[in-house]
Amino acid sequence: MVRIPSRDAESDGDIDSTMTPMIDVVFLLLIFFVWTAGTQIVEYMLPGQLSAETGNLPANLDNPPPEQDFDKVVIRLRWDGGLPDWSVNDQPLETIEEVATMLQSLAGIKPDAPLVIHPDSPVPLGYVIELFDESRLAGFSKVSFAVNQE
Amino acid sequence: MRNPVIHRSRRAGFNMTPMIDVVFLLIIFFLVSSHLARQELRLELPLPVAQSGEDDPAVPAPRVTINVDAEGNVTVGGRAVAMHEIGEQLVTARRELGDTMEVRIRGSRLTEYGAVEPVMLACTRAGIWNVSYAVWRQEH
């Protein structure tokens, strides 16, 4: 014959049994948050400084980042029939690897030269950021984007 | 077979169980709602890949995140915003958050640069120079 345990509020066993659902819930919560944190893709950031001579608010033009006008490196990124087409200071290049090599050699000479990325409007952002990434990896510290002022 | 006998405590004790239940329900409610609210701000976009992507600074500046999807639609704070409204929103944000504020552009890698250009232009016009781009370090 099975004896059903009596539930005595004052006994130690009762405290154990009331704790059980709470521990269950805590574990469920832990699993939920560990799972959601695990499935989330970590995002990183590429810091960029904008600089422009435009602006319609006079107060905003007090301290624009200083621009020095010497030996600029200008990268044109054109979109030609669904494929990107690079040129560094008017020298056409076939692949992003060639661009990276060229940028590394230029950065070796003058890493503080301002670098301007000038993409065409239809170029997908992925290629623009790829170019920005390569410029940063090559060691250029002053990278800016050309923007059409319309 | 004997029925179980429940001995009531002779002391007029305070029953903690319903309180713990309610507290846990509240905790779950707030955790889940904050999680959903964060998800709403994090529109799922295929971000560009960049190896030189950096972690967020330990003390982040006040930030406005601008999402640009593949079709060039712009959303700020989970709300669709027309291109001409962004400038006004950024000016207001700068007034509220101060000059140290940052704009984070979360653009899909498929979106055209022409759709992101006006956002950059609006930032410079609002006097915000601190602009960063959300990237992945590897393909997902």
Closest-CA residue of chain A to B102:
A47
Closest in B5, B48, B91 to A6, CB measured: B5
Looking at residue B2, its pLDDT comes to 62
- Residue A6 touches chain B, beta carbons under 8 Å: yes
pLDDT string in tens for chain A (150-residue length): 555 655 554 445 566 667 788 788 888 888 888 887 777 777 888 887 776 544 333 444 455 555 544 578 889 999 888 888 898 888 888 888 999 998 898 888 888 888 889 998 899 999 999 999 999 999 888 888 888 776
Low-confidence residues in chain B, pLDDT < 70: 1-13, 37-41
Distance from CA of B73 to the nearest CA of A (A): 14
Residue of A2, A118, A125 to mutate when probing chain B, most B C-beta within 10 A:
A125
The pTM of the full predicted model, rounded to 2 decimals, is 0.71
Q: What number is the ipTM of this complex?
A: 0.72
Looking at residue B68, its pLDDT comes to 92
Looking at residue B107, its pLDDT comes to 92
CB–CB contact A129 B5 (8 Å): no
Looking at residue B61, its pLDDT comes to 83
Closest in A6, A52, A57 to B4, CB measured: A6
- Determine contact, residues A111/A102, Cβ cutoff 8 Å: no
The tokens describing B22, both together, are: 């309610």
Q: What share of chain B is helix, strand, coil (3-state, %, to 5)?
A: 40, 20, 40
Looking at residue A41, its pLDDT comes to 77
Regarding beta strands A73-80 and A115-119, do their DSSP bridges make them parallel or antiparallel, or are they unpaired?
Answer: parallel
- Determine contact, residues A85/A131, Cβ cutoff 8 Å: no
Helices (H), chain B: 17-41, 83-97, 113-125
Looking at residue A53, its pLDDT comes to 45
Looking at residue A125, its pLDDT comes to 92
Residue type, A24: D
What is the CA A87 to chain-centroid distance, rounded? 24
Looking at residue A126, its pLDDT comes to 92
Residues in contact with A100: Cβ distance below 8 Å, sequence separation at least 6, in sequence order: A134, A137, A138
